Structures are given as C-alpha cells and as structure tokens.
C-alpha cells in the first residue's frame, strides 16, 4: 500500500485485523487492548464507514445475527440459536442511517461489530457476552439493490406498522432469553430513532446511542465548559448555543441540554425558565430552522426560532451559519452534522470569546 491514499491503507489494515479475528479471537482482542489508540480508528470510525460501504465485497465469514422481515414469526426460536448462554450487551442497527453515509441496508452490520469490539478492548466487556445484530427490513438504496454481491433483502424498506412489528418481535425475543441484556440502538434514521426510544425505554433495558449517548457526552462538555470559566452551573441557562445538525444526534443533544436547563437550581420557579425559553439556534442543510419552515419535524419544532423578545433581528428562515454566528454571538458552537467543511475562519470571527 506504499504511496496509496490513506483510505486504502486503513482498509488494508482493517482486512488484516478482520482475518486475525476470524483465525484467533483471543489474539485479536489482545492486539486491540495493547494498541487501542492505533487501532480504534481502524475497527471503528472513520474506517468503519468505508467497510460498511464495501461490506458485501469484503464479506468472508458471518459475524453476529441477522433478523430479516422474512423471519417474522420465527424470531423467538431464532434467538435461541445463538450459542452463548448469556449475553450482556447487544448493539442493533437497521442500516437506515449509517454515520453520514445514509441507507446502507444490511451492510450496516459493520457498525455493531466495530462498536462492540471497542467496548471489549476499551471497556473490558467479555467478548463472549456481546452480540452484534442487523435488522434487515430492506433498503431504499438503488445501487445496493442492483449490486449482485449485496447480502440483504432486495426490497424497499418496510415502513409504518409493518416496520414496528418486526422491531417489536425482535425486542420481545431478546427480552425472553436475556432479560437483563442491554440493547443499544445504533444508526437508525431519525424518525425511527425517536419512535423506538419512546416505544421501548420504559419496557426494556435499552437506549439509543445517537440520541442519548452523544447527548450525554456533549452535555458533560457543555457543563464542564461553564465550570472551567469559573461560573456557577446555573449560568448554563444563559448560554446561547448554536447547533449545526438537526438529525438524531443534534436533536438528542438539544433535548438533554434543555432538560438540564429546566432542572438547574433556581430555575424551577414558574415563569423563570419555562418550556418556551429557547437558548438554541438550530441549522440543518437548508440553514436556520424557524417556525415558518414547512413540514417541520415535531422533534425539531420545539427548537425552531419564532417571534418574541428573545429573537435576534434580521435572522430569517434559512440563514447561513456565518449570519447566525455574527448576529447571535453564541457562547457555544456545536457541530453535529454528517457534512464536513461547514465551519471556517469567516464564521469563527463572530464567535463571542469569553
């Protein structure tokens, strides 16, 4: 690979590690544990994105379990085919929104595999008690449907109640065999990320990493930044926050930050800091999101800018990041978009330095 692009070199390293995993799992994890800083970017992001895009061509040996829409009615018996007596951690995806790459169908299995390898190597979870799972409900990616090597169902994605029926049956089957297993939902498109989280969080031991995991880390950083400035944590409610990205990660961070603001000491009095208090400016690929936008997703609507004393003059629907930063002068700028190159020197000139 001498002289080849970094992506080619990284993919070659992944293939070497993958073959080692197939031959000698004990040695594979020993190598990861001893070299986690070097190999974490190979077994997970950013290399795992390349792996998922090319997974059907890279496939040599199955890993994890696959539940497809065609298996409806059989999932309870299928779950007992897994040879491990006990499973502590499951990472499941439907491949509908893999990183910033979109719908990769069954090829998204690379994400649960890579995530669990990191958990084993970095967190010390027993590798015999983890299980990567793919829910194959079809794909809307025409290139994959026409690819002769594609491993998944060659049909459009299930939607609505048909989709939920498959996920319901899977969750019931997992809970029946391993009631204490943690089920982590990973890289589901936004509408299903929030829908499944609300549907299962009170019944099963589960969480959504894109919505809650990213949000937890981001909130810790936000609160830590306030403390590092020598300010009381209650000042967090006064921070002006600009968020670029209105997907499951972006809205997850917003929801958790909003929840934290409402729980801050001294903000519980009626009228002092209510649900209408909006310290967030959210942008997506079409610019600033306001209440005048058509077909606004309900999860995003509560953070859309409107009209009132808190609004900044001359900030219109679809305003660019540079416009928003210069006029709002935010305390915090969060990048939670899958699109690169959004932040530049021009935009940073409007950032309020504290």
Q: Give the phi and the psi of residue 326 in degrees, each rounded to 5.
A: -65, -35
- SS3 state at 148: coil
| Crossing angle (nearest 10°) for helices 36-43 and 25-34 | 120
Instruction: Please classify residue 57 by burial: count the beta carbons closer than 10 Å to its beta carbon, then call 0-12 exposed, 13-18 middle and 19+ buried.
Output: exposed
| 180 part of the active site | no
Q: Which one is catalytic: 13, 29, 37, 44?
A: 44
In degrees to the nearest 10, what's the CA dihedral of 22, 25, 29, 30? -120
**How many Å apart are CA 336 and CA 282, to the nearest integer?**
10
For the chain, the farthest-separated pair of C-alpha atoms sits apart, in whole angstroms, at: 65
Residue numbers in the known binding site for (S)-malate are 97
**How many Å apart are CA 350 and CA 336, to the nearest integer?**
19
DSSP H helices in the chain? 6-23, 25-34, 36-43, 47-53, 55-58, 75-79, 110-123, 142-146, 160-177, 190-200, 214-228, 248-262, 298-301, 321-328, 345-348
**How many Å apart are CA 40 and CA 120, to the nearest integer?**
11
Residue numbers in the known binding site for a divalent metal cation are 186-187, 210
**How many Å apart are CA 302 and CA 328, to the nearest integer?**
19
| 29 part of the active site | no
> How does strand 287-288 pair with strand 206-208?
unpaired
Q: Which one is catalytic: 115, 150, 163, 258?
A: 115
**How many Å apart are CA 172 and CA 179, to the nearest integer?**
9
Annotated catalytic residues are: 44, 115
């Amino acid at each position: 690979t001498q002289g080849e692009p970094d992506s080619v070199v990284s993919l070659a390293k992944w293939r070497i590690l993958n073959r080692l995993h197939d031959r000698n799992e004990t040695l594979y994890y020993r190598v990861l544990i001893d070299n986690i800083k070097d190999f974490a970017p190979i077994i997970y992001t950013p290399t795992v994105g390349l792996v998922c895009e090319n997974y059907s061509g890279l496939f040599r040996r199955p890993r994890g379990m696959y539940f497809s829409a065609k298996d409806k009615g059989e999932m309870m018996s299928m779950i007992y085919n897994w040879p491990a007596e006990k499973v502590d951690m499951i990472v499941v995806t439907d491949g509908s929104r893999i990183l910033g790459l979109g719908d990769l169908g069954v090829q998204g299995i690379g994400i649960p595999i890579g995530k669990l390898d990191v958990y084993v190597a970095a967190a010390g979870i027993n590798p015999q008690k983890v299980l990567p799972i793919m829910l194959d409900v079809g794909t809307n990616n025409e290139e994959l449907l026409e690819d002769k090597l594609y491993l998944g169902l060659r049909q459009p994605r299930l939607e609505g109640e048909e989709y939920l029926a498959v996920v319901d049956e899977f969750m019931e089957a997992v809970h029946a065999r391993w009631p204490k297993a943690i089920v982590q939902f990973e890289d589901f498109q936004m509408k299903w990320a929030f829908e499944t989280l609300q549907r299962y969080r009170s019944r099963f031991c589960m969480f959504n990493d894109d919505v809650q995991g990213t949000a937890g880390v981001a909130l810790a950083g936000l609160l830590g930044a306030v403390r590092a400035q020598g300010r009381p944590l209650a000042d967090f409610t006064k921070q002006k926050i600009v968020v670029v990205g209105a997907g499951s990660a972006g809205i997850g961070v917003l929801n958790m930050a909003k929840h934290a603001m409402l729980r801050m000491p001294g903000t519980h009095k009626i009228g002092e800091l209510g649900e209408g208090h909006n310290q967030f400016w959210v942008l997506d690929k079409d610019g600033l999101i306001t209440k005048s936008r058509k077909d606004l997703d309900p999860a995003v609507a509560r953070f859309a800018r409107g009209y009132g004393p808190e609004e900044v003059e001359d900030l219109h629907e679809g305003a660019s990041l540079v416009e928003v930063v210069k006029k709002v002068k935010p305390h915090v700028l969060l990048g939670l978009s899958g699109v690169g190159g959004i932040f530049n020197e021009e935009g940073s000139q409007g950032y309020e330095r504290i």
